[in-house]
Amino acid sequence: MVLDHEVAMARVGSDTELLRELAQLFLEESPRLMGELRAAHEQGDAKQVEQAAHGLKGSVANFGAKPAVDAAHQIELLGKAGKLEAVAEVLRSLDLALLALHAELTQL
Model confidence pLDDT, tens digit, residues 69-99: 999 999 999 999 999 999 999 999 999 999 9
Using the Cα atoms of residue 77, residue 78, residue 82 and residue 87 in order, give the sign of their dihedral: negative
CATH of the domain at 26: 1.20.120
Residue range(s) defining the domain that contains residue 84: 5-105
- Number of compact structural domains in the chain: 1
Q: How confident is the model at residue 53 (pLDDT cuts 50, 70, 90)?
A: very high
Q: How far is CA 28 from CA 14, 61, 68, 79, 98, in A?
A: 22, 16, 17, 25, 13
Report which secondary-structure segment, H or E, holds 82.
none
Q: How far is CA 70 from CA 43, 52, 64, 84, 108, in A?
A: 23, 14, 11, 17, 23
| pLDDT over 70 percentage in the chain | 100
Instruction: Please provide the size of the chain in residues.
Output: 108
